[in-house]
Amino acid sequence: MGNEQEFQDLLQRVGLDREEISQRLRFLDWSAADVEQLGRHSAGLQPAHAGFLEQLYQRLGEFPATAAIVNDPATISRLKHSQGDYYQRLWNGPYDRDYVLDRLRIGWIHQKIGVDLKWYLGAYRLYLHEMLDGLLGAHPASTAFASLLKAVFFDIGLALDTYSAAQRKALEDSEARFARALRGANDGLWDWHVDHDQLYLSERWASMLELHRDQLGSGSAGWFARVHPDDLGGLRRAIDAHLQGSTPSLHHEYRIRRHNGSYLWVLVRGVAERIGQDQRRMAGSQTDISQHRAAQEQLQHAARHDPLTGLANRDRLAELLAQALQRQGRAGAREAALLFIDLDRFKLINDSLGHHIGDHVLVEVARRLGQCLRPGDHLIRFGGDEFVVLLDDLACIADAERVAQRMLDSLQPPLQVQEHQLVVSISIGIAALSEENAGLDSLQAADLALYRAKAAGKAQFARYSTEMQAQAQHQLELQSALSRALARDEFSLVYQPICQLDQAQPYLVAVEALLRWQHKGQAVSPLEFIPCLEESGAILAVGDWVLRQACAQVRHWQLAGQTALRCSVNLSSRQLQQADFAARVADILRESGLPPASLVLEITESQLMEDSAQTLACLRELASLGIQLALDDFGTGYSSLGYLKRFPLHILKVDKSFISGTPEDGDSRLISRAIIGLGLSLGLEVVAEGVERSEHLDFLRSEGCRLAQGYWFSRPRPPVELERLFSGEDCFEGLYCLLQAQPALSLP
């Protein structure tokens, strides 16, 4: 800071305004008479003035401290000269603003060069003494007054001592407090004269970086050069924003380089102030926040990762996706893909072995999946048993299929979890990241593909296609149409005869009720709409309707003469999962009057797998009512012999896919033979499905299979057509005569 500036600061601090000066003069009783008095003696006291100066310099020479300042004749004569002027001015005035300023400036200079106040006071005492002498001469009163002056000046010195000591103490206390607070806060301090680029940094500021103050230079360059390149712009912007008044203070976190080259997270705080017109100064503190940052980062990590597997979680996926999409937007970007992965039948593991084992399985699966990835790919636990993989930087999207295949293969070897050996499979949906998927985002597209992979039999991958999307759309439309179909009376039942083969002429013993849906004037295949009903849950209401309808119909035919006619009805797994299902069936039987023994309920193997405990309980209850249970489509699913023993089954239906190959195809023949043999040996009735040709019939007969259905006998038909058959008005395919051969089944 320039000298003049320093003096101006001091003046402000002294705070002598017009009012203060006039008050002081009033208290001194200063008046025009005083001016006149002094003026009158001015000339007469010239010799006394000169004498005083001689005396003063002689005295100053006697004390070592003052002698050191006034030590050569040239200085002495210059000082005497200016002192002479000064004392003249003191005597004569005028005591105006200039006078006051000059006095203050001289006092400031003296203080700066180290002239102690006591020499000052002593000089004034000597001056008054000499002037007294000059006015009164050696008068007894003047001698006494001279002595009094000495005592008074001694006291003035003491009074000033106490005042200044007390002020110094207050200042020191506050400084000590400040220093203590600083030590406690452990903060570094900085003080920057922005326009002169003079920077003061405290020792602590430097030591935080394992540096000494003098290693940092005196300008801001030493500071900014150590700021992390990624953070420098931000810091400068924060400083500028505050200097321009857009922020109330500077408050900014950034990284700064330590002596050893590593970076430290710090928080800089500061405020700017204006000095004069155009000078700015900014000062503040700097705090080491590395620990706080580390804790924060740990929290952030925890918030974006799954605690069980340690993988990134869904929140993190959102970030990764956003970044990947941004990269995709750039020119020359390579392909990227999402894999949506779901464990097949994980619920079964959780339910049967407990969540603890389930957790181990998830961890192990995550580990194996992770091993199929390259660095730069991401594996995310999406939730539950769902994982998502983000594959970046692919040459072509087919590479994603290769990764998916690797993942499927990685789960081939069984998992060893504690004492359990578990076979776990996954299904995978694949979607390209960049793809505009007809309104779907990539994740939804991959999810849709996953759904397809599951529907196609699990343990495989499927890649998203626009047809898939169209299909899903179609599915949705179907679902909404289906939800209204029951109320609109769009459903109907057809019945397919099931025939007994043990006589020369097969004869009709049962019918299988099959659901039909007439939508917009067109018949929709049950293979299409039944899964749809199952998914929406509408199958419960529709299933009830089918049962009620079929039971009533067959009971009607029984009463009309087909007394031994049995009725087969297909069930969905969701129906079996209802706790009150058996009771509902009992009600329906009661309402229709159909004997329980006339009802056959058909279930498939996959239904038995869904929720075995509930399903088993339900099936037992149904069996105890006297209802017959048939295992439908046997051979197409797991064909588990365990199920045949465990569940209370009465009938086994051999799937039409085997029958259609007989007798020409060797495998079909062998499998059909094995299934028929298996059923018979377990004491079950065996029904062959899909009999279309007389060769099929011959084969079945030769294998001892007693029951069959298929187009050879009759397609599924509406009730009126069956009634024409029963009445003998009509005969379809080869059935007419068969009915004749079976009096019990003919109409009265």
Q: Which residues bind ligand C2E (CB under 6 A)?
A: 496, 514-515, 525-527, 530, 546, 570-572, 602, 632-633, 656, 689-692, 709-711, 716
* Nearest to ligand C2E of 324, 567 (CB atom): 567
In degrees, rounded to 5, the angle at the alpha carbon of residue 667 between the alpha carbons of residues 662 and 668 is 30
Question: In the complex, what is the shortest distance from the CB of residue 676 to ligand C2E, in angstroms, rounded to a whole number?
Answer: 17
Our CB check for ligand C2E shows the closer of 453 and 654 to be 654
CB atoms near residue 208 (< 10 Å)? 20
Report the distance separating Cα 180 and Cα 167, nearest Å.
20
- Least Cα distance to 742 among 503, 568, 570 occurs for 503
Question: What is the closest distance, in whole angstroms, from the C-beta atom of residue 634 to Mg ion in the complex?
Answer: 9
Cα 226 from Cα 232, distance rounded (Å) = 9
DSSP for 581-617, please give it: HHHHHHHHHHHHT--GGGEEEEEEHHHHHHTHHHHHH
496 touches, from ligand C2E, Mg ion, none (C-beta below 5 to 8 Å by class): ligand C2E
CB of 413 to ligand C2E, least distance (A): 35
The distance of Cα 352 from the centroid of its chain, to the nearest Å, equals 33
> How far apart are CB 539 and Mg ion at their closest, in Å?
15
Give the tokens for residue 475.
């599915």
Tell the smallest beta-carbon distance from residue 651 to Mg ion (Å). 10
455, two tokens: 């529907």
CB-nearer residue toward ligand C2E: 546 or 745: 546
What DSSP character marks residue 44?
Answer: G
CA distance 64 to 648: 125
Cβ nearer to ligand C2E, comparing 506 with 710:
710
Look up residue 167 and give its two tokens.
């002020």
Tell me the DSSP string of 20-40. HHHHHHHHTT--HHHHHHHHH
For 266-316, give the secondary structure using H, E and C: EEEEEEEEEECCCEEEEEEEEEECHHHHHHHHHHHHHHCECCCCCCECHHH
Q: Which is nearer to Mg ion, 544 or 605 (CB)?
A: 605
If contact means CB under 5 to 8 A according to the sort of partner, which of Mg ion, ligand C2E, none does residue 191 touch?
none
With a CB cutoff of 8 Å and minimum separation 6, the contacts of 530 are 515, 539, 572
Instruction: Report, in Å, the least distance between residue 368 CB and Mg ion.
Output: 37
Residues 6+ apart with CB under 8 A from 364: 415, 417
664, 630 contact by CB (below 8 A): no
CB-wise, 252 or 696, nearer to Mg ion? Answer: 696
CB of 570 to Mg ion, least distance (A): 4
Q: Smallest gap, in angstroms, from Cβ of residue 674 to ligand C2E?
A: 20
692 binds, among ligand C2E, Mg ion, none (CB under 5 to 8 A by kind): ligand C2E
Q: In the complex with ligand C2E, which residue's Cβ is closer, 122 or 690?
A: 690
**DSSP 3-state of 80:** helix
Instruction: Supply the minimum distance, in Å, between the C-beta of residue 341 and ligand C2E.
Output: 30
Which of the listed partners (Mg ion, ligand C2E, none) does 711 bind, with a CB threshold of 5 to 8 Å by partner kind? Answer: ligand C2E
List interacting residues with Mg ion (CB under 5 A).
570, 602, 632-633, 689
| Tokens coding 286 | 């700097």
Query: How far apart are CB 560 and ligand C2E at their closest, in Å?
Result: 23
Is 350 or 672 the residue whose CB approaches ligand C2E more closely?
672
Say which entry of Mg ion, ligand C2E, none residue 721 contacts (CB below 5 to 8 A, set by partner kind).
none
Chain residue whose CB lies nearest ligand C2E: 710
Cα angle at 262 between 260 and 266, to 5 degrees? 115
Three-class secondary structure of residue 367 per DSSP: helix
Nearest CB to ligand C2E, comparing residues 515 and 652: 515
Residue 361 or 514 with smaller CB distance to ligand C2E: 514
Measured from the CB atom, the residue of 571 and 700 that comes closer to ligand C2E is 571
- The residue among 587 and 633 lying less far from ligand C2E, judged by its C-beta, is 633
Q: How far is residue 367's CA from residue 308's CA, in Å, rounded to a whole number?
A: 12
CB of 519 to Mg ion, least distance (A): 22
Q: How many CB atoms are located within 10 Å of the residue 534 CB?
A: 17
**Rounded Cα gap, residues 748 and 562, in angstroms:** 9
Residue-by-residue DSSP string for 214-233: GGG-SSTHHHHTTB-HHHHH
- What, of Mg ion, ligand C2E, none, does residue 525 touch, CB below 5 to 8 Å by kind? ligand C2E
Question: Do the Cβ atoms of 422 and 414 come closer than 8 Å?
Answer: yes
Q: Choosing among ligand C2E, Mg ion, none, which partner's interface includes residue 527 (Cβ < 5 to 8 Å by kind)?
A: ligand C2E
CB of 443 to ligand C2E, least distance (A): 32
Distance between CA atoms of residues 208 and 187, nearest Å: 9
To Mg ion, the closest distance from the beta carbon of 603 in angstroms equals: 9
Q: Tell me which DSSP letter residue 334 carries.
A: P
Question: Toward ligand C2E, which CB reaches closer, 644 or 659?
Answer: 659
Say whether 502 sits in a helix, a strand or coil: coil
